[in-house]
């Protein structure tokens, strides 16, 4: 499995889709925080927030994350590299590899937002949290945290947990990718599916039993972390995410276990 992970990372380094996606994530993250600053200083009208929402982490990570999930899984099938992978490792190891690499890829999409938010937080500049997202809550420093090592540590932990939550949410693309093996199809269904599940999760949050069940998944509203989240929230979000990732990996294995490889 270690070899497969190394090979996947080597492949992704040569993927134009991955390079462009990471570049877009960096540009979007910078633009997102810059607009939050411009709105806060009055250089832009608050109504600009509507347009700025396309640069939000939710939008960018869902869109590009779904695409990259497809690329991570489908590239090996396209290039037939999967043949050698299955001669050297088991199908279970291959699914586990793809799960780990998906987490790494999603983390790399979230990282620019985390980094830019941290820089914004430490800059002492004025920012507006024009959307209720974790990164804007960090730059806007809604909790009024001091700019010290302790706060930086808190931010790093919250960002890391957010990476895990995003990876778990996007892991619904894994079984899909093993089934259809087409990155664009995975992107379309994954992007739409994540928003749909988010929407449904919001609707049923107050419904008995259903709300509790949603809370056990990374789509639970309490798993959208902020700097106000306590250790219990963080652990619950991480736990739900890890269990959900394992479930999606299991579903992928069931699909792939006896699949014929072209």
Partner 1 sequence: MMSDPVVTTRDLTKRFGAAVAVDSVNLSLERGQIYGLIGKNGAGKTSLMRLITGLSIPTSGTVELFGNADPSAQQEDRKRLGCLIESPGLNGAMTAQENMRLHRVIRGIPSTTVEAELLDLVGLADVGRKKVKNFSLGMKQRLGIAIALLPSPELLILDEPVNGLDPVGVVEVRTLLKRLSADHDITILISSHNLPELYQTATDYILIDQGAIRRTVTLDQLEAECRQYLRIACAEPEKLLRVLETELGIRDVTVMPDRSVRLYDHLDDPEAVMRTLCAHEVFPTTFTTEGDTLEGYFLAVIGGDSRA
Nearer to partner 1, 78 or 148 (CB): 78
Q: Decide: is 15 part of the binding site for partner 1 (CB under 8 A).
A: yes
Q: Are the CB atoms for 49 and 130 separated by under 8 Å?
A: yes
Give min distance, CB of 92 to partner 1, in A: 10
Q: Is 145 helix (H, G, I), strand (E, B) or coil?
A: coil
User: Which of 41, 51, 90, 123 touches partner 1 (CB under 8 A)?
Assistant: 90
Q: Decide: is 20 part of the binding site for partner 1 (CB under 8 A).
A: no
The CA distances from residue 170 to 19, 94, 109, 155, 204, in Å, are: 19, 18, 12, 22, 20
Give min distance, CB of 2 to partner 1, in A: 8
Give min distance, CB of 220 to partner 1, in A: 38
126 burial (CB, 10 Å; 0-12 / 13-18 / 19+) is: middle
228 burial (CB, 10 Å; 0-12 / 13-18 / 19+) is: exposed
Q: Given the rule CB under 8 A, which of 7-15, 102-110, 178-186, 202-210 is the region that contacts partner 1?
A: 7-15
Nearer to partner 1, 44 or 101 (CB): 101
Interface with partner 1 in residues 91-130 (CB under 8 A): none
Distance CA 260, CA 112 (A): 38
Nearer to partner 1, 47 or 88 (CB): 88
Q: Count the helix, strand and coil residues of the chain and give each as a percent rounded to the nearest 5.
A: 75, 0, 25
Nearer to partner 1, 80 or 147 (CB): 80
124 burial (CB, 10 Å; 0-12 / 13-18 / 19+) is: exposed
Size of residue set near partner 1 by CB under 8 A: 26
Nearer to partner 1, 85 or 129 (CB): 85
Interface with partner 1 in residues 225-254 (CB under 8 A): none
Nearer to partner 1, 12 or 176 (CB): 12
Q: Are the CB atoms for 95 and 253 separated by under 8 Å?
A: yes
Distance CA 169, CA 130 (A): 23
Interface with partner 1 in residues 50-89 (CB under 8 A): 75, 79-89
Q: Decide: is 148 part of the binding site for partner 1 (CB under 8 A).
A: no
Residues ≥6 apart with Cβ < 8 Å to 27? none
Q: Given the rule CB under 8 A, which of 6-14, 61-69, 154-162, 188-196 is the region that contacts partner 1?
A: 6-14
User: Which of 3, 41, 51, 143 touches partner 1 (CB under 8 A)?
Assistant: 3
Which positions touch partner 1 (CB under 8 A)?
3-4, 6-7, 10-11, 14-16, 75, 79-90, 258, 260-262
């Amino acid at each position: 499995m270690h070899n497969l992970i190394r090979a996947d990372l080597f492949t992704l380094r040569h993927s134009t889709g991955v390079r462009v996606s990471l570049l877009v994530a960096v540009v979007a993250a910078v633009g997102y925080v810059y607009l939050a600053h411009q709105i806060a200083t009055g250089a832009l009208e608050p109504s600009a927030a509507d347009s700025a929402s396309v640069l939000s982490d939710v939008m960018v990570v869902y869109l590009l994350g779904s695409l990259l999930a497809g690329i991570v899984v489908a590239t090996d099938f396209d290039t037939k590299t999967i043949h050698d992978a299955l001669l050297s490792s088991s199908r279970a190891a291959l699914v586990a590899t793809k799960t780990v690499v998906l987490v790494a890829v999603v983390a790399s999409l979230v990282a620019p937002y985390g980094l830019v938010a941290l820089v914004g937080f430490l800059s002492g500049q004025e920012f507006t949290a024009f959307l209720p997202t974790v990164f804007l809550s960090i730059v806007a420093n809604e909790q009024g945290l001091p700019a010290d090592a302790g706060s930086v540590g808190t931010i790093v932990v919250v960002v890391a947990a957010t990476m895990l939550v995003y990876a778990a949410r996007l892991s619904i693309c894994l079984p899909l990718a093993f089934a259809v093996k087409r990155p664009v199809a995975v992107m379309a269904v994954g992007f739409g599916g994540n928003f749909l599940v988010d929407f449904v999760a919001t609707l049923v949050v107050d419904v008995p039993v259903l709300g509790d069940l949603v809370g056990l998944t990374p789509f639970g509203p309490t798993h959208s972390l902020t700097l106000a989240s306590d250790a219990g929230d963080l652990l619950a979000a991480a736990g739900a995410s890890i269990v959900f990732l394992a479930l999606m990996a299991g579903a992928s294995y069931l699909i792939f276990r006896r699949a014929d490889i072209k």
